[in-house]
Structure 1
Amino acid sequence: MKKLIGLFLFALVLSIGMASLSYAAGDMAAPSTQTVNGDLLKIDGEFYVVKEMSGKETRLHVDKTTTLDSSINVGEKVEAQATEKNHAVSIRHVQPKK
């Protein structure tokens, strides 16, 4: 009888532990992104500076995880997806409207 109660308690503790781990994993959502549209003012190492139509300049951090269009040059119109902390998720060239 003691073995049965011990086994039951062990299973209960194990299942509670697993439930808390799965709950914690569910809370890790992807970071929200913002869209930044404008002219690429400069490329300074790992940072791209984009001037939006409103005049606001946004400094975006670029690294190996950032998806870049083939050739983006200073002065071109770009659209960037960035996290709240201004890490660029992707930057692509945008054709100017005619």
Structure 2
Amino acid sequence: MTKESTANDAARIKAIRDAAQADSEKLIPRPLVDLLIVREVPAEEAAGLIDDYRRQGYVYARGQLIGTPPKEEPTVAPEPQEPTGDDE
């Protein structure tokens, strides 16, 4: 590794960590941050993924999941009705 690539990598890692810590109300879990770093995700893309993660409603505090995204109500098809013979 050259000094330039090491500096670029350090800057990328710092940018990812800064994006993860940008909103103290909606913390990003450390394993997700580590995964983005290990997979060498570019900083801009990682920031977008982190923002998407926050928008989905996941909230972590002190390493514990304290909120989950809103759940969609299951849709149930109406029961078929028996013909009444009034359709004349």
Report the TM-score, using the length of structure 1 for normalisation.
Answer: 0.23
Which structure carries more helix by proportion?
A: 2
Report the TM-score, using the length of structure 2 for normalisation.
Answer: 0.25
